[in-house]
Structure 1
């Protein structure tokens, strides 16, 4: 009798443990899908099981993501030769020129280039265009590690895609129009976030895959040799300058002729009055 009672008690304990595990698995499966407030009564026939639990995280080795950029400025004796050298280096490194501009100021003739270089050929390209350059006025090379940002974006994108898949499964089970509309609204919002994350990830990958190199090279314009001026030429220049100054003065006086006339009339009457007083 005691044996039968002990076996019955052991059976009840094992049955209770299995039931508790089943309840915990079900709670985990439900929490893994956050349903909309008005869609809680959507039919969901799939029975929760331990297989529904998300797979364990695997530590994926992600290649280090580095954004490289460079800014170079140097003087050259021949702009065309320097440009040909840069073109040759670009061809060797499979780079492409995306911006080319040139100009002239008071003392130099210059040319500016913006070049996109595959990151794996970045060092080789810089080395090739540095050949023959005596010194760089500006040489700035930067390397920004964006691996953490890349991993974060990738992880968030995967999470959003999984969430979208879960809402799509819920949508298949929805019966009411109000539930369908609300779930579709949730899916639309998630889709916008997915597209935004994909755009950011694509932009980041493009900056990592291609480095940007900005190059400015210029040639100094030689100053013209000054012409020696003789004493006679200086004297003639001074006479011309005085003549022009006198002309400017006469033009200025003509522009104020009414005031000049009034001045002479006023002076005439004052002089006449003074003569009368002396006679008296």
Structure 2
């Protein structure tokens, strides 16, 4: 029993030391050639190098003479580069018809895809391409995750040797808290890896509507709006009359008696 107590104290000491050294250890890592290793890991793991982690994104906006032809060109580029459409929307206003696409594409095909959809475009209204280096964040998450996993393994070892109910409950509580932290960091790491492995390209292309077509549409809309406005005005007037009907009845009755009285005076 005394041996278990000393082991438990050793784990608590290990926790405090790990928390103090965790941030310092991560800060000292080199981004270009970082080695995920620890004193307890085999010597060959020290040669593991983390490749650069880059999140690539792009936004393109341009005018086209044929929306359907441009869309077919984009679909061909999507199929060729193993991409997929996440969002597809279209809208029409007074002067233009616009279509918007959000596309996810394997990062290794990012440049080839942009080159394919740029063919035939005279100029871009907007063209924004970004590359965010998240290698340091990736390394930090990996380092913290490895620390938590080692800590969990130490607690599991102690749990197997514990005999008192109070000790078992306390150790299981610590293991549960560490497991939650591990799962949270694993989720963050998977999300980061997903954004690195697949790039996002947003495309907005539009066609300008002919001026005379816009005038016809606008004139017809004005006529219809005028008809609707007249109907609603008449409805409002009738509703107003209905709401004051007691006053109208009273006015008619008074007018009748006043008229009758004047007729008697004349006689």
1:75-96 Cα offsets, whole Å, 9 max, x none, are 0000000000000001111000
1:26-83 Cα offsets, whole Å, 9 max, x none, are xxx98863279xxxxxxxxxxxxxxxx7246725211100000000000000000000
Match of 1:133 in 2: 121
Greater C-alpha Rg: 1
Tell me which of 91, 97, 107 is aligned to 2:95.
Answer: 107
Tell me which of 11, 27, 33 is aligned to 1:33.
Answer: 11
Report the TM-score when normalising by structure 1.
0.62
User: Which region of structure 1 is more displaced relative to structure 2, 54-63 or 139-148?
Assistant: 54-63
Match of 2:48 in 1: 60
Match of 2:212 in 1: 224
Matched position secondary structure for 2:211: coil
1:75 matched to 2:75? The reply is no
After superposition, the Cα gap between the structure-2 partners of 1:184 and 1:128, relative to the gap in structure 1 and judged at 3 Å, is same
1:169-200 Cα offsets, whole Å, 9 max, x none, are 00001111111000000000000000000000
Match of 2:166 in 1: 178
Report the TM-score when normalising by structure 2.
0.65
Stretches of structure 1 that go unaligned for 5 or more consecutive residues are 1-28, 37-52, 228-280
Task: Give structure 1 regions of 4+ aligned residues with deviation exceeding 6 angstroms.
Answer: 29-32
**Paired positions, count:** 189
Tell me which of 169, 175, 183 is aligned to 1:187.
Answer: 175
Match of 2:252 in 1: none
In structure 2, C-alpha distance between the alignment counterparts of 1:183 and 1:33, rounded to whole Å: 11
Matched position secondary structure for 1:34: helix
Name the Cα RMSD after superposition.
2.8
Match of 1:161 in 2: 149
In structure 2, C-alpha distance between the alignment counterparts of 1:187 and 1:30, rounded to whole Å: 13
In structure 2, C-alpha distance between the alignment counterparts of 1:132 and 1:34, rounded to whole Å: 66
In structure 2, C-alpha distance between the alignment counterparts of 1:142 and 1:210, rounded to whole Å: 14
State whether residues 8 and 158 of structure 2, in contact with CA within 8 Å, keep that contact through their aligned partners in structure 1.
Answer: no
Question: Matches of residues 242-261 of structure 1 in structure 2 within 5 Å?
Answer: none
